[in-house]
Chain A
């Protein structure tokens, strides 16, 4: 069964450093998402991406965040200058957007980001 993959599984970085989280969505999917979950809290929407541009972003997704789909397979989330409060599990998700009839979003296993 096709799946969303994410690398690395765990990233430790120092405050102020840039990090890039990588995702490979399911190959024929059209919609791409990033969510995050701070330990013990809700899953929070960050950004959605369709047709090579951001469709929607949350208040969390400020100027420190950016997304890119540099080629036909990867989808990345960059945090330019990490803060302690960016420590969380980051999930990538992808979807066919209803073409399979369910609008199901397939989530990756997550990248645990620890900012020290």
Chain B
């Protein structure tokens, strides 16, 4: 089956630094990828839609300057958490659409900001 990878799986960073998370579709091209955030014992909340070759579309309440998304190729989308703070600590998950009804999720990245 299709595989989506995320790197890193875990990251600990100091407050004020930036962290980049990569999401790759390994065996199909994805013009659209999505980024989700999940707090402990909570649901997944869509943060933004990443479109290859164009600007990402952010959901209401998500700071685009805080969470920079780049979708430079059909197999790679990156999420950069800029000037991270402890409240940004969370589980971040990406997904890539193979077709409209077929999406594949990455394994997630656990970010801890100290």
Bind each other: no
Binding site for B on A (CB under 8 A): none
